[in-house]
Amino acid sequence: MTTNPVVQGTVRPGFEGVADAFVRNFTQHGDVGAACCVHVGGEPVVDVWAGHADRDQGRAWARETIVIVFSSTKGVAAVAANQLIERGLLDPHAPVADYWPEFSANGKDTIPVEWVLSHRAGLAALEAPDLTLEDVAAWYPVIDAIAAQEPNWEPGSAHGYHARTYGWIVGELVRRVTGMMPGEYVAAEIADPLGLDFMIGVPQVEDGRVARLYPAVLDDPELERIAAEFLSDQSTLLGRVMSGPSQLFAYDDRWNTRLLRAAQMPSSNGHGDARSLSRMYAACIAEIDGVRLLSDETVERAIQPRSTGNDCVIGQPLHFGLGFSLPPTLGPDPGPRSFGHGGAGGSLAFADPDRELSFAYVMNQMQLSVTEQDPRALGLVAATYAALEGC
């Protein structure tokens, strides 16, 4: 555990409890390096960071440090998709095949866009045994494999977390209707207008700013058993989803490689800071420096529950709208109209329009929390809402 971390940044009076919770993540919950940002009414009230971006090299977490946020990237992809819906370029009720004709193969011709965004498309596990990490980085081999595949279950009949395929399908829809790769679209239409430090596909010149990811410490046999059972067992749908395609993935040092940093994986490998994620969500619910990412009408459509109850991949209740996670999946404290997404290992970002609140937490020490929400994010969110009550 880290003791007495040097916390840098700013905290508005009344929100000291969030900074205290942030410190506890180091002293009690094993954080190595992390950042947290909260906006209220479009203004930052908490923007703090501490610890090490690379403990092995003694590199401190700095204001400009960015880190992989895993599935919190899905929230960014969801903003992109909902922008295209708002602009009339993407119809959530239209078949994916209308935009991507090859997708119609093997009985997928009627799957609508909204089922992809709400994890109902039946394509959670990409059953393509010969793909390589180089194929993943090249984009098109994975896209072709998805287009050719049969669904894992009858589309629309159930929802199941599309841990990686969500990003590839949504990203290909972005490419088909805009002509831009998803990382290019996010840069041009989300990050650049707001001055966000967030990217899908990190160029090598930025490597010096990227925090080193530290995999979860499996320090007892029970944790090792849980990890093997839930994340890599090929006899289960969950194991195939989380390790696939081709058993290429695990939550380990491979994410620190140049290949996976540079790849465009709109489900999994967005890199950024808490400040940018919180500011992005703030701009989804209000105008920030002249920029509004989503209209009120678009937000209202996006937060309507599309998938609720037991998830057939994860095996526990999950709740989704049009691309976003919804309460109670976001935790016990966010308000009923909140929307956002968490990421493997602990990251979380969301907006609560009723409280004019946006929140983000990012870190480089993963924790294993397959069936429970991460106590670090939970503590920060609880402290945030407690501060709001005191204002």
At 371, is the pLDDT very low, low, confident or very high (cuts 50, 70, 90)? Answer: very low
Is it the case that residue 40 has pLDDT exceeding 50?
A: yes
Active-site residue, 157 included: no
Q: What percent of the chain has pLDDT over 90?
A: 88
- Among 2-6, 133-137, 150-154, 220-224, which is the least confidently predicted range? 220-224
**Among the CATH numbers 3.40.710.10, 3.30.200.20, 3.40.190.290, 3.40.50.150, which is that of 8-76+184-390?**
3.40.710.10
Of 71, 243, 276, 338, catalytic: 71
Q: Give, rounded to a whole angstrom, the gap between the first and last alpha carbons of the chain.
A: 32
Q: Tell me the pLDDT band of 52, cut-offs 50, 70 and 90.
A: very high
At residue 228 the predicted structure's pLDDT band, cuts being 50, 70 and 90, is: low
- In the chain, which residue ranges form alpha helices assigned H by DSSP? 16-27, 72-86, 96-99, 113-117, 133-138, 140-148, 165-178, 182-186, 192-194, 221-231, 237-243, 258-262, 274-285, 296-302, 375-390
| Confidence (pTM) | 0.96
> Which ranges of 90-212 does DSSP label H, i.e. alpha helix?
96-99, 113-117, 133-138, 140-148, 165-178, 182-186, 192-194
Domain residue extents for the chain: 8-76+184-390
